[in-house]
Amino acid sequence: MAERERAVASGATAFVSRTQVMSADDVRRAITRIAHEIVERNHGVDDVVLVALQTGGAPIAAKLADELARIEGKTVFVGTLDVAYYRDDYGLRPVLPEAPTDIPMDLTGTTVVLVDDVLFTGRTVRAALNALADFGRTKAVQLAVMVDRGHRELPIRPDYVGKNLPTRRDELVNVRDDGVDLGDKA
Amino acid sequence: MKHLLQIADLGADGIDEVLRVADTFAEVNRRAIPKVQALRGKTVVSLFFEDSTRTRLSFETAARRLGADVLTFAAGSSSVKKGESLRDTVQTIDALGADAFVVRHASSGVPHQVSTWTEGSVVNAGDGWHEHPTQALLDAYTIRERLGGFAGRRIAIVGDIRHSRVARSNVAAFSALGAEVTLVAPPTLMPPSTEGWPAELSHNLEAVLPKMDVVYLLRVQRERATEALFPSLREYTAHFGLTAARAAMLPAGALIMHPGPMNRGVEIAADVADAENAVITQQVANGLSVRMAVLYLLLGSGVDLAA
């Protein structure tokens, strides 16, 4: 979860919605489409592992796994990753893990699909790539996000996108089960 | 909070936070590559004026697994032998760019003194009879892991309470977390005054064992026998050693703990130390995660833990 979105989820920043940019149905359809894209690109899901970035990626990864199971009839492993110990902003703000990392397997030889709610600067994904390397040598790492809001600060791009959403830097994006909202800090 | 000198610096909430963060490092320690870069570029100095195996290795491993650089100071092979003062030693090392000092010394208060001479953080790794806070934290972590929590739990600390920094830190931590602590020792090994200690006192081990959830044995410091505080090691074992027969008096599921190093056959019988409910090696393993949490919280997190 990008830093700005994290502030919203934790309640540290009050979020005021301006417009809904995806409805609950839009989110559901995006997950179905992304699931099909994952299957197509990887010729099935045999070596595919989903790793959700804590905390915003977890509900999306769970729904993606359900959808993959429905399409392919196979159970895809879902792990969770908190990147606190790999961030690059120590000293700029308090950095503590918010939720458990749980990847009880060697990732060597697997194709990991990182799942997050919002892709913003790319710094969280950079931290996640470093963290993943400590769990084994993956065959490939792909990135799935519900919203790509732009403003990248690192050369990182998503492989699967729910919605490309042009934003201003100071806006906030709030992804929930019942839709995606664009708004501002209160 | 910049330093960890005693358990009171943390308070119950601070202890809880250390244990929560230690959980996340326990997960790191289970990985194929059990190392993160959270303290990359930081330098941790282990400043030990007293012999130690487990505490020094545990802290140094913890610092390395966080990505920090480690400088090891051993008093025996240093300029202390040429008469260099403690203050000059600290300031010399400080000039090399230390971010944290992990300090052990035979005199109470040395870590506090060191904290006034450096801009870095100071972690007390045992000072005299005063405190050994990370030992108490790893013990609390182990108890919480095995028993789920502290509320209403009864813990006996047995042995040389008088000279034990482990006992002082553990009484503070266990009682802050809500446990009922009983100190068990012969009168000569009780502190001169226990006024204000949040603990019951007993001189009868067998009377307290059937009620305990945890029995925590302290190392008998053999050199104390010469101070006539107890007649002989055999006499001590006869009254206060955890023999197999006494261990059988504990309720089912009660834990047997020891901070190490053990004197097998003195305060704890050899087979009791290896019993299924003895969690002594688990304490050592948990010490690594807990010390990673302490170093990270003081040096990396930017979080203020003050009680």
User: How many residues does this entry show for chain A?
Assistant: 186
The beta-carbon neighbor of B33 closest among A92, A97, A134 is: A134
Active-site pick, B55, B89, B142, B237: B55
Q: ipTM exceeding 0.90?
A: no
**Residue ranges covered by each domain of chain B:** 7-132+284-299, 133-283
- Long-range contacts of the stretch B77-85 (C-beta < 8 A, 24+): B80/B49
| Distance in Å, alpha carbon of B296 to nearest chain A alpha carbon | 9
Q: Using one digit for the tens of pLDDT, what is the confidence trace for A41-71? A: 999 999 999 999 998 999 999 999 999 999 9
Are residues B37 and A106, on separate chains, in Cβ contact within 8 Å?
A: no
**pLDDT band of A3, cuts 50, 70, 90:** low
pLDDT value for B73: 87
**pLDDT band of A146, cuts 50, 70, 90:** very high
| Distance in Å, alpha carbon of A89 to nearest chain B alpha carbon | 10
What is the average pLDDT across A16-22?
Answer: 93
CA distance B86 to B22: 32
Are residues B33 and A86, on separate chains, in Cβ contact within 8 Å?
A: no
CA distance A158 to B51: 54
What is the Cα Rg of chain B in Å? Answer: 19
Enumerate the residues of chain B whose CB falls inside 8 A of the CB of residue A134. 31-36
Taking alpha carbons only, the member of B155, B124, B284, B141 closest to residue B217 is B155
Taking alpha carbons only, the member of A111, A93, A69 closest to residue A10 is A93
pLDDT value for A171: 92
| Distance in Å, alpha carbon of B302 to nearest chain A alpha carbon | 4
CATH code for A3-88+99-185? 3.40.50.2020
Domain B133-283 belongs to what topology?
A: Rossmann fold (3.40.50)
Q: Using one digit for the tens of pLDDT, what is the confidence trace for A71-102? A: 999 999 999 999 999 988 777 677 888 899 99
- Best residue in A96, A107, A112 to probe B by mutation, most B CBs within 10 Å? A96
The beta-carbon neighbor of B300 closest among A90, A106, A130 is: A90
Helix (H, G, I), strand (E, B) or coil at B289: helix
| Distance in Å, alpha carbon of B35 to nearest chain A alpha carbon | 8
pLDDT for residue A32 is more than 70: yes
pLDDT for residue A11 is more than 80: no
Q: Is B112 a catalytic residue?
A: no
**Residue ranges covered by each domain of chain A:** 3-88+99-185
| Mean pLDDT of chain B, nearest integer | 93
Residue B145 CA to chain centroid, in angstroms?
17
Are residues A96 and B21, on separate chains, in Cβ contact within 8 Å?
A: yes
The beta-carbon neighbor of A95 closest among B28, B30, B301 is: B301
CA distance A5 to A119: 10
- pTM for this prediction: 0.90
Residues of chain B where predicted confidence (pLDDT) is lower than 50:
none
Enumerate the residues of chain A whose CB falls inside 8 A of the CB of residue B32. 106, 134-136
Mention every residue, 6+ apart, whose C-beta is less than 8 A from residue B223: none
Active-site pick, B53, B81, B82, B116: B82
Domain B7-132+284-299 and domain B133-283, same fold? Reply is yes
Q: Is B116 a catalytic residue?
A: no
The beta-carbon neighbor of A94 closest among B28, B36, B302 is: B302
Residue B184 CA to chain centroid, in angstroms?
18
- Best residue in A10, A86, A89, A90 to probe B by mutation, most B CBs within 10 Å? A90
Q: Is B54 a catalytic residue?
A: yes
Answer for the pair B243, B269: CB distance below 8 angstroms, yes or no. yes
CA distance A27 to B1: 44
Q: Is B104 a catalytic residue?
A: yes
Enumerate the residues of chain A whose CB falls inside 8 A of the CB of residue B34. 134
Domain B7-132+284-299 belongs to what topology?
A: Rossmann fold (3.40.50)
| DSSP output for B59-87 | HHHHHHHTT-EEEEEEGGGSGGGGT--HH
Active-site pick, B132, B153, B162, B291: B132
pLDDT for residue A4 is more than 70: no
Answer for the pair B298, B40: CB distance below 8 angstroms, yes or no. no
Active-site pick, B104, B130, B154, B165: B104
The beta-carbon neighbor of A106 closest among B32, B296, B302 is: B32
